[in-house]
Amino acid sequence: MGNNWHNYFNNWVSVLGLVILLLLTITALIGPVIAPFDPEDLEIGRRATSPGATYWVGTDELGRDVFSRAVTAIRVSLLVGIVAATVSTIVGIIIGSLAGFFGGWLDHILMRITEIFQVVPQFFLAVVLVALFGASVLNIIVAIALLTWPIIARLTRSEFLSLKTCQYVDAARLSGASNTRLIFGEILPNAMGPVIVSATLLVGRAMLTEAGLSFLGLGDPSRISLGVMLYQSRPFVQFAWWAALFPGMMIFLAVLSTNLIGDGMNDVINPHLNEGK
Amino acid sequence: MRNYVLGRLIQAIPLIFTVLTINFILIHSAPGDPIDLIIGEGDVSEELIQRTRAEFGLDKPLHVQYFSYIYNVLQLNLGHSVRYREDVLEIIISRLPASILLMGTSFVISSVIGILLGLYVGPRKDSLADRIAVVISILGYSMPVFFLGLLVLKVFSLQLGWFPTQGMYNIRNPQEGWGLVMDVMHHLVLPVFTYSAFQLALIFRVTRVKMQQVIKEDYITTARAKGVQERQVIFRHAVPNTLLPIVTVLGFNFSWLLAGSVLTETVFAWPGLGRLMFDAVSYRDYPLLMGLFVVLSSFVVIVNLLTDIVYRAIDPRVSFD
């Protein structure tokens, strides 16, 4: 395992991903400090100013500073991505490990429920949910988490199915370990590898979903996210294209970083994929 | 084979019912009167409200409502659009060709390029071509389709003026015959380019990885040892075995591809189902939105089913039992 993680850091692709994600996170944390202007402050006199010394990446159609808005917006985008992915991962792990560990009727019921959530096209269900229940950050997070946990649940279940027959689990059971101890102490830690890879990819996918929803006009109107910025800049792309470029690049970088990290971790966890390298 | 296909078709029925049930639950758990979601808000005549109430049995107990909802949908009654003042299913059918044109063209183009590229670089792991292709594909894979669309629109349409900004044909100067075909193709270029980026990257990634695995298989070594020409080894022995996972990956990613088409159509005002969904959201046209959800979900169920059948039909190793 240690050697594998050593490989991970030798894999420059995933290190690049980590660095990008770290930079974006730092930007999100210190956003309000480095924002030179109030992100909501509109001034008619400086509408659609092109990038320059004062407005580093320009101002939008209402005269708001794009840089200040974007470094504020990334907080909401990252928050949605990370919280949605975390909730979805926790729910998925609980359901997947119960189904995989106990098997039988419990497995049967849980897997039927999982299938129901996988039948419907996720993005459209998110659109419908947010359209019906209102576009708030909370609803968007709930919608995304509700639609993505089955991926984690199935993965955890299949890991449990193969791990629970391992000898070390039998040994622990014979030495009197409780089911709780077996699930959380023995099996889960060894099942976490692939789960973490999927969870990382989920962060990117959740941010992308949030941006997609916002682009359809389903972003939280009281909070600026990167997707909301893109949505607002769309009609003005002819004369204020920079208002779309900067937030768009940030979404792209966020998704790219999670994909790079995911790819890199996949190489670590499935080293046989790299045979002959 | 026939029994298998029949069996799978029968399995699809409960899935479609699941979709309808979810839709029913959504309509009834959303805030507000369910009648608004079926008939829409706004100035609707009292007579139509009463008629719809009776049609969907909204004055009856919930389980009766459920069955009358299912009955109505099976009769292809998806309600009336608020904005278009038309039958929801009729609007959806009228928008279908535009979406099929966009998705179909992209599918063909990205499959051909993605597969050829994957086949080419697959056996050349870590060569310069391989590295360049991998970098471009991960960029394409991570690019939000709506952002790419905006960039392409700005550069090739607004800046350079090479392509029209939106729509499917020129409304001010309508063409006929070949002129119309050329006009539609001209409008199609940017949406197809935008929409293909993700799909192409996906197909390329899968083909490349599969090709790397296949090329190491024993039967390839055997073929080479027997003195079969390299070209023949690739095209007769390796290629058929790489195509299989591509079918599966595309089939099971169909719902994400549909989502991509919604966003692409929104950027370019392409008059398909995606743009229709955007309009339904913008105008709070709930009957249309729910109708679209039923239709698109059913598509996804059907495509997953077809993927399964095609997969088994082309892989002789998987039995039909």
* Nearest to A127, CA basis, from B236, B280, B132: B280
> For position A1, what pLDDT does the model report?
45
Do the Cβ atoms of A212 and B259 come within 8 Å? yes
Q: What angle do CA A52, A58, A64 make, to 5 degrees?
A: 135
What is the residue-level pLDDT of chain A in tens, covering all 277 positions?
445 555 555 577 788 888 999 999 988 888 777 777 777 777 766 776 777 767 666 777 776 777 878 888 888 899 999 999 999 999 999 999 999 888 888 888 898 888 888 778 888 889 989 988 888 899 999 999 988 899 899 889 988 888 888 888 888 888 887 888 888 878 888 888 888 888 888 998 899 999 999 988 888 888 888 888 888 888 877 777 788 888 889 999 999 999 888 877 777 766 544 443 3
Do the Cβ atoms of B18 and A119 come within 8 Å? yes
Phi, psi (deg, nearest 5) at residue A41: -70, 115
Of A121, A218, A248, the CB nearest to B258: A121
Do the Cβ atoms of B290 and A128 come within 8 Å? yes
Residues of B in contact with A125 (CB under 8 A): 22, 293
ipTM of model: 0.83
Do the Cβ atoms of B147 and A230 come within 8 Å? yes
Of A131, A244, A252, the CB nearest to B281: A131
Name residue A271's amino acid: P
* Nearest to B116, CA basis, from B234, B196, B280: B234
Residues of A in contact with B166 (CB under 8 A): none
- Whole-angstrom Cα distance, residue B28 to residue B34? 6
Nearest chain B CA: its distance from A162 CA (Å):
23
Residues of B in contact with A275 (CB under 8 A): 216
Do the Cβ atoms of B150 and A230 come within 8 Å? yes
Q: Which residue of A has its CA nearest to B273?
A: A124
Q: Which of A50, A114, A237, A239 to mutate to test the interface with B (most CBs of B within 10 A)?
A: A237
Do the Cβ atoms of A276 and B216 come within 8 Å? yes
- What tens digit of pLDDT does each residue of B77-88 get? 777 777 777 888
Nearest chain A CA: its distance from B225 CA (Å):
20
DSSP annotation of A131 reads H
Q: How far is CA A204 from the centre of its chain?
A: 4
Q: Exposure string (b/e) for A33-67, b if CB count within 10 Å is 16 or more?
A: eebebebeeeeeebbbbeeeeebebbbbbbbbbbb
Q: Which residue of A has its CA nearest to B268?
A: A234
* Mean pLDDT computed over B46-52: 76
Nearest chain B CA: its distance from A46 CA (Å):
22
Residues of B in contact with A212 (CB under 8 A): 144, 146, 259, 263
> For position B258, what pLDDT does the model report?
86
Task: Please provide the DSSP assignment of B111-170 as one string.
Answer: HHHHHHHHHHHGGGTTSHHHHHHHHHHHHHHHS-HHHHHHHHIIIIIIIS--S-SSSSS-
Do the Cβ atoms of A230 and B146 come within 8 Å? yes
- Whole-angstrom Cα distance, residue A156 to residue A175? 25
DSSP annotation of B216 reads T
Chain A interface with B: residues with Cβ < 8 Å = 116, 119-125, 127-129, 131-134, 204, 208, 211-212, 215-218, 230, 233-234, 237-238, 241, 244-245, 248, 251-252, 255-256, 259-260, 263, 273, 275-277
What token pair was written down for B171? 């409304």
Of B139, B146, B281, the CB nearest to A218: B281
> For position B312, what pLDDT does the model report?
76
Percent of chain A whose predicted confidence (pLDDT) is above 90: 19
Nearest chain B CA: its distance from A181 CA (Å):
36
Alpha helices in A11-136 (DSSP H): 12-34, 66-102, 104-119, 122-133
Instruction: State whether residue A37 is helix, strand or coil.
Output: coil
Task: Please provide the DSSP assignment of A152-201 as one string.
Answer: HHHHHHHHHHHHTTSHHHHHHHHTT--HHIIIIIIIHHHHHHHHHHHHHH
Q: Is the pLDDT of residue B246 over 90?
A: no
Do the Cβ atoms of A245 and B301 come within 8 Å? no
Of A129, A215, A260, the CB nearest to B266: A215
DSSP annotation of A59 reads B
Cα atoms in the Cβ-side hemisphere of radius 13 Å centred on B132: 6
Q: Which residue of B has its CA nearest to A127?
A: B281
Provide the whole-model pTM: 0.84
What token pair was written down for B218? 């024993």
How many residues are listed for chain A in this entry? 277
- What tens digit of pLDDT does each residue of B147-189 get? 998 888 888 877 787 888 787 777 777 777 777 777 777 788 8
